[in-house]
Amino acid sequence: MALVILLSVILGVAQITARMVHTVVTSDQQLTAVQLAEDRLEQIRLDQDYTDLETTYDGTETSFPTLTGFTRTTIITHVGGAGKASDYKKITVTVSGPGILSPIARSVTVGAP
């Protein structure tokens, strides 16, 4: 009887440990995705060449040397333009990867200088 109780306790601890490890790994992957998105947005915000943002950054990247399976997509939408009442670009970066249930998306608006 004592052996059955001991076995139940050990299996319970093993199950809790497995859940905790899964949660940590998933959280780490999500944090990595957020960092990839934030890094790209910061890079775009710091770029002085407003007119060529689309040419330079619009598109999908899949080659991250230490992050196998991650995909980062940058979409830049130009609103208005020169001589119009408004001239700004909305940038959305979406990152997906292993262990992430739904893609992480971050957006920022950059006004014309």
User: Looking at the whole model, is its pTM more than 0.85?
Assistant: no
Residue 56 CA to residue 76 CA, distance in Å, equals: 10
Tell me the pLDDT tens digit for each residue of 88-103: 999 999 999 998 889 9
Tell me the pLDDT tens digit for each residue of 24-74: 556 788 889 999 999 999 999 999 999 899 999 999 999 988 888 999 999
Tokens 């076995």 sit at which residue? 7
C-beta neighbour count of 70 within 10 angstroms: 19
Count how many residues are written for the chain: 113
CB under 8 Å to 76, separation ≥6 — which residues?
44, 53, 54, 57, 58, 89, 90, 91
Domain region containing 52: 2-111
State the DSSP code for 61. E
Q: What is the total count of domains within the chain? A: 1
| CA-based nearest residue to 98, from 46, 38, 26 | 26
Q: Provide the sign of the torsion angle of the four alpha carbons 76, 77, 82, 85, taken in this order.
A: negative
State the DSSP code for 38. H
Confidence of residue 14 (pLDDT cuts 50, 70, 90): low
